[in-house]
A and B are shown apart, each in its own frame.
Chain A
Amino acid sequence: MDPRNNPQKPLEAKGGSPDPETLKRVKELFLLFAHAISATKLFPAHHASVINFQEELYDKLTKFLEEHEELNIGIQENAFTYEGEIAYRDENILKSLPYLFFKDGMHKLTFLRDLDKAELLAFLDVVRTVSLLPPDQHDIVESLWEKDFPHSRYYVPDEFLESRLAIHQKKALDFKIDKAQMSQGKIELTAEDREVIHQKLTARLQKEQKEAADFASLTDSLDKGDSSLIESMLSYERDISTALDFLGLIFELLYTEDRLEPFKKALSFVEKRYQEWLKKGDFTYVAISIRQMEDLAQILSLNAPERALEVEKFLKTIIDQCPLEALLEMARQGQIKDFKSFFEFLRRLGSKTLSIGAELLEDGLDPEVRSAAFEFLEEMGKDHLDLLANLAQEQKPFITKAIIAIFSHLQDQKAIPFLAKFLSYKNKDIKIEVIEALGRFSDTVAHKILLEFMREDKDEDIRTAAAEKIHLSLDKDLMNAAVHLALAKNFHAKSLREKEALLKALERGGSDEACDFLRVLLKKSGFLKKAKIEESRLCAVRSLETIATPKAVEVLRGGAGRAKKKIKSACREALERLTTGKDAGKERPS
């Protein structure tokens, strides 16, 4: 037995059996321990029953330790003992707690006074983690050793390891030394070595005086010296992501491995890693591994086409076989940590992932995700306008509006027909967005569509919005069509808002045509109610005042001379403002 091998060796338990009261308390502690462990296996960490068991265990254990200084636990295959008495038993090896400790050779476990709660919880966590793994994949002694808990100790006899190491070794271990040999014979130094010794000895005698008392630097064990440098080196190294570092390494390994078979094996390891990352949603690494493999394929293609081909095959496979449904699900479940990389990855997968971007946008997760999804759709969509347009649906207003915004942002005239498609939608919000998007185009086609809205739509708001966005100056026909619209019989019957919007469109469209039209409007009479006509004419006067070109002034003068009283005075007032106002004498550019 080698106590030196086991720094955690507990003090020997005192002899004799425990008093029944103490044993009862210890039994209770074990039960709580077992409950605490099974609760953490069943429920999430913040679950009430987990917390309750932990609290109770902590309270009772601390109390026990305060009174007894320590709790020494003996470990048997199926039982925990306290001072020789069985205190807990579980025969079921598959889930038995004592067996969990026993199987890795632990004989004793001790908790010491001053154990704090964090340490107890960390201890329980180790037990939980270990018990969830298959038996051959864990070692509780190893896990506890790594944790190095200050208030718990364990004891494993050395024989445990000795009996397991090198069991297949046929040769018996033999390192016998003949002690007698040590004091037999003579060492004959060579002449050369003797000379060296002689020289050094004489040199030494001279400086011995000085050396004898030179202890000044004795305190240098306190000198931190390189330690701060070492600390910063360690913290730098610890910040490096192991996975990234490893990817970098595999890249180099693949680059240097010129034999095809090992190359393929290593490549399949990358694929395995890649799949693991993909499964876990670690898209940072997924994206980087793809980037790296693309880089590798490129440099290999120069002088190792065979290997380059393998890498390309690898890339194609992972891209072709990527489970899109699963990706979407993962995104919805919030399993993706790095959306930037996630979308980078989707870009590499190509246009088939557009729908994932759209779904994510529609799901409306956090704003950052949405803006990343928007960027993704915009970038991917610019070469696939049709696919993008297909993603829009009347029932999905969010994504539809986003697509409209993307089209508007792209300013690609090819997007216009797709926008036109939305004319048939009933959703007013969407239509308004389409109108705004079309209004931003400088292409005549877009504005012809707007004119259609002005003319045909049943909804006044839509017609008005279209009138507000249209640019009539783009095309003569457009202007004429708009004038016709305004001269149509039903014009006076429209609401003031719509009329104003139409007149404003004409104003923007070009002063001459507008003035001609307004002149007509001022003169023209109709069958409608007087009030409606008057309203139209007052609008016309306001428009003319806004236009303020010589031609507009001329039309206003005409109005001031001929029209009905109310219109006449409106014209006069407008003229007066135009000539005496701030901008008097200045004509507006047409």
Chain B
Amino acid sequence: MTTQERASQISQKEALKIVVHLQVVLKLGKFYEPNNRILQEQMETLYSSMQTALEREDEIQIYVSQNSISLNRVRVRFDFATYHASKFLLNAFQEREIGSLIFYLGLTKEELTRFMFFLAEKEIPKEDQFEQIFSDFEAASFPHILIEKIPPAEKVETLDKAIATMYFLGIYHLKEIFEQEDEALNLNLTKRWVQSMFNHLAFDESFLFGLTNVKNFDEYTLNHSVNVCLLAIALGRRLGLSRPELMELGVSALLHDLGKLEIPKDILDKPAKLDAGERAIIETHPNLGAEKLIEQASKRGIPDRVIQVAFEHHINIDLSGYPKYVRRTSINLFSKIVKIVDYFDAITTKRVYRPKVFTREEALSLMLEKSGEEFDPLILRTFAGMIGVYPIGSLVVLNTGDMGIVVENNPLASFAHKPKVKLIADPQGNKMDGDIVDLTDLDPDTRRFKRTIITSLDADKYNIPVSDYFLLRAQ
């Protein structure tokens, strides 16, 4: 099946191009007829880049493992712009239990087009996915294409429990960092935790976003910090930060509120409006945090950026906020990122002193109003794109009358209002442990969407434990 001598090797750019176009065509194939102009253009690009590679390499093998895609043994590296392409393809392959696709020299455009429509239009069987698809594949006859099943070891298992465990362990770990000034407790473990979270995010961002609906576990500040960390890494990834940068960002986000440790609890949790004196005390937490980190900097190996974020995360982009700068004229990139996710997590969290919790949707629109004054517009835009119109965890009412919780965003901006939703109540309001439905699903007869979101509602108002729907997957 493989040719031993290869005169040349596929370049990263070439591989990325093929994979991204494969994804686009697959996606478009779901909605368009084969004669659609946009689809044909994309198909043409895909075919010609594949043809170029085939003429040189004789075959193109696209191999999918846990969370990476390789093309003729070159692992395709995705950046933030192409991240969704990888997510989509991985998902598409895994749903169908396809482990690899092999195209051979001699492939025609007609055959490729037929195959892409075969994949796109096929309803995915509920069990023995690969076997069922494969028999249809055989029947349809694709002489220059081969599909192979995912090897058993590579088959996706339910790993949500491990992710959730790691999430909660993060809260406990942070508690130890906050409370112990043990010299032995350096950042190595923290970094490993951040790394683990990153790996999970790369694999299943939606589930982790779902977990950020867990609030006030153990202590507010700890849980909040873990959520801020997850959202910050995810956002940093979208922005295209490198792994070492993401690591620093993650640690910065995790420790951003370290200064709150020094603020008396009765002020932090005061159920009424703070007076000027109390407010002033709270507003020292960036200073306190930065100073505490400075003290530990050398023994714990704390990077400068971490100190910087602790100090700057309440300074607005127009330099209002606190503390006030005298000389500096801008805030650091990491601080800008953390500021956005910090604010988002804070105002969507119920607190004794916060009578009105913002729904995720409301929070986002409130923040967009402050774009350019409090928040960096470019980063906020990226964040909004990441979170989606109906952020994961939103309670929504569908046109069918069903109620559901948003569990996964649609990566395409124009489909941002069509996420995946777990149904939790029928039109009469009877609670149920319903299916997860994709709002881009079309009714095959009318070619119209089966379901559409009418509005989002405040889950707190109805005492709906949003995070439970995610944790349920981790039992």
Contacts and interface: CB of A to CB of B under 8 A. Distances in A.
Contact of A179 (B203, B323, B378, B475): B475
Contacts of B239: 230, 234
B8 to A, nearest CB: 12
Given A169-B176, A246-B304, A230 B162 contact: no
Contacts of A171: 172
B31 A114 contact: no
Given A179-B472, A188-B429, A242-B304, A150 B75 contact: yes
A262 interface: yes
Interface string B148-178: 0000010011010011111011101101100
B276 interface: no
A560 B157 CA distance: 124
A332 interface: no
Given A146-B247, A200-B454, A201-B399, A165 B31 contact: no
A168 B433 contact: no
A153 to B, nearest CB: 9
Given A139-B192, A166-B175, A189 B240 contact: no
B318 interface: no
Contacts of A438: none
Contact of B199 (A7, A197, A219, A255): A7
Interface in A190-233: 190, 193, 196-197, 200-201, 204, 208, 212-213, 215-222, 224, 226-227, 229-231, 233
A150 B75 CA distance: 6
A193 B457 contact: yes
A249 interface: yes
Given A197-B455, A248-B327, A136 B188 contact: yes
Given A173-B172, A266-B294, A222 B20 contact: yes
B67 A114 contact: no
B3 interface: no
B77 to A, nearest CB: 7
A193 B272 CA distance: 28
A322 interface: no
Contacts of B429: 186-189
Interface string A152-183: 00000010011011101101010111010111
Interface in B66-81: 66-68, 73-75, 77, 80-81
Given A145-B243, A158-B162, A182-B469, A217 B414 contact: yes
A448 to B, nearest CB: 56
A546 to B, nearest CB: 66
Interface in A127-154: 136-139, 141-142, 145-148, 150
Interface stretch (B49-57, B307-315, B346-354): B307-315
Contact of A187 (B307, B399, B411, B425): B425
A233 B378 contact: yes
Contact of A150 (B77, B163, B170, B432): B77
A218 B27 CA distance: 9
A260 to B, nearest CB: 13
A321 interface: no
Nearest to A169: B172
A6 interface: yes
B424 A182 contact: yes
A221 B73 contact: no
A215 B162 contact: no
Interface in B444-475: 447-449, 452, 454-455, 457, 461-462, 464, 468-469, 471-472, 474-475
A162 B195 contact: no
A491 interface: no
B454 A201 contact: yes
A6 to B, nearest CB: 7
A580 interface: no
Contact of B431 (A146, A186, A256): A186
A125 to B, nearest CB: 15
B195 A142 contact: yes
Given A204-B452, A252-B326, A252-B328, A183 B432 contact: yes
B243 A7 contact: no
Please tell me the size bucket of the interface on A: 35 or more
B210 to A, nearest CB: 13
Given A187-B429, A204-B452, A146 B413 contact: no
A175 B471 contact: yes
Nearest to A209: B448
Interface stretch (B133-141, B263-271, B295-303, B360-368): B295-303
A237 B31 CA distance: 41
Interface in A378-418: none
A196 B311 contact: no
Contact of A139 (B20, B66, B188, B454): B188
Interface of B is mostly: helix
A427 interface: no
B421 interface: no
B311 A249 contact: yes
Given A168-B180, A188-B429, A253 B291 contact: yes
A358 to B, nearest CB: 36
Given A136-B188, A145-B243, A246-B304, A7 B176 contact: no
B73 A248 contact: no
Interface residues of B, number: 114
Contacts of A136: 184, 186, 188
Contacts of B73: 112-114
B412 interface: yes
Contacts of A173: 165, 168-169, 172
B290 interface: yes
Contacts of B403: 187
A238 to B, nearest CB: 8
Contacts of B20: 222
Contact of A221 (B68, B84, B240): B84
B162 A2 contact: yes
Chain B CB count within 10 A is highest, among A177, A181, A208, for A177
A265 interface: yes
Contacts of B170: 165
Interface in B405-452: 411-415, 424-425, 428-433, 447-449, 452
Nearest to A3: B66
A6 B168 CA distance: 19
Contacts of B157: 3
A114 B297 contact: no
A265 B431 contact: no
Nearest to A181: B468
A378 to B, nearest CB: 32
B356 interface: no
Contacts of A256: 287, 323-324
A245 interface: yes
B274 interface: no
Contacts of B301: 137
Interface of A: 2-7, 9, 11-12, 112-114, 136-139, 141-142, 145-148, 150, 158, 161-162, 164-166, 168-169, 171, 173, 175-177, 179, 181-190, 193, 196-197, 200-201, 204, 208, 212-213, 215-222, 224, 226-227, 229-231, 233-234, 237, 242-243, 245-246, 248-249, 251-253, 255-257, 262, 265-266, 269, 272, 295, 299
15 contacts: A145-B195, A161-B189, A165-B170, A166-B175, A173-B169, A197-B454, A197-B455, A218-B414, A227-B240, A234-B239, A245-B304, A245-B332, A252-B323, A252-B325, A265-B294
Given A161-B193, A242-B305, A252-B328, 13 more contacts: A3-B157, A4-B199, A142-B247, A168-B180, A182-B424, A200-B455, A221-B27, A221-B413, A246-B307, A246-B308, A249-B304, A253-B323, A269-B295
Top-4 shortest CB links A-B: A166-B172, A2-B162, A217-B414, A246-B304
